[in-house]
Amino acid sequence: MSGNAVGTPPAEVHIDTEIVRSLLRAQFPQYATRQLQPMGSGWDNAMMRLGTDLLVRLPRRAIAAVLIEEEQRWLPELSPQLPINVPVPIHVGRPSKEYPWPWSIVRWLPGEGADRSPPDADEGCRLASFLSCLHQAAPTGARVNPVRGVPLATRADQVGERMDRVAQTTDVITPAVRAAWHDALAAAANTERLWLHGDLHPLNILVSRGRITGVIDWGDLTAGDVATDLAAFWMLFDSPIRERALTAYGPVDDHLRARAMGWAILFGVMLLDTGLVDHPRHAAVGAAILRRLTQNYGP
């Protein structure tokens, strides 16, 4: 087994309220006097709430600047067909001498991550409707993401390494998880190029009072295998709720089902492995995903 787990990538640029306030004054002065409230950051972006109804989203790494440009390019086109709110950029910020990359102002979406505020049972079918609307043929200009929507075989070595590593310190890599991963790798590969979110784990699904209020963080938007997104049904719902949702989504054959479970395992071990380094919430989400898979392995 090779090296140690790597945690949250460090920021490549300093972002604070003073920098954001300066960007607003220069580019969107109508918002310059609004309250700014830091909302934390993920691997790729820092977020600041702007007043009560807006959010500023700024890449914290150069690679994320490419991803936010994908959101800016495609979300305005995709959002009208989607039955759940998404953070469509309403203003696109420009680089400046103080900040080197494009950035966005989006609508504030209420709710908490589904890991902290689980969706009600009937929300499975709402999520299925959302994914059915999203999973349409992507145009030739759609970005191909090298790590999402791809054949699972391309991720096998990395996932296997992560599984072995977290198995040394946790009890969540059970025989059922390993069997599901084996089945996922054995399933027939996908050949369609359909739109997918690409990062649809519980932290990116907002829920308020049991209802899904938004799907956020579209930086991994890509064309590829929709099993990457269908994994969310295994991450969020137990059977039979999951089965009703899959029926509502549409035909899901055994190969697609196996790949979706494989993607759920990939997300689970990635969040757990990296989260154990420096992000307890990610670790808790990853462990919960893998425990749910153990309880629900099979049809």
DSSP summary character for residue 28: -
- CA dist., res. 201 & res. 220, Å (int): 12
* pLDDT above 50 (res 113): yes
Q: Which residue has the tokens 């696109």?
A: 92
Q: What is the pLDDT of residue 3?
A: 65
What is the average per-residue pLDDT within 130-157?
95
What is the average per-residue pLDDT within 66-88?
96
Sheet holding 211-215, edge to edge: 112-113, 205-208, 211-215
pLDDT in tens, 98-111: 999 999 999 999 99
Q: What is the pLDDT of residue 1?
A: 42
Closest listed residue to residue 36, CA positions, set 28, 26, 47: 47
pLDDT in tens, 234-269: 999 998 899 999 999 999 999 999 999 999 999 999
Q: Tokens at residue 228, please?
A: 């990457």
What is the average per-residue pLDDT within 53-58?
98
Q: CA torsion, points 176, 179, 184, 187, in degrees to nearest 10?
A: -130
Asked if residues 218 and 205 have their Cβ atoms less than 8 Å apart, the reply is: no
Q: CA torsion, points 274, 142, 195, 185, in degrees to nearest 10?
A: -50
* pLDDT above 80 (res 61): yes
Q: What is the pLDDT of residue 7?
A: 79
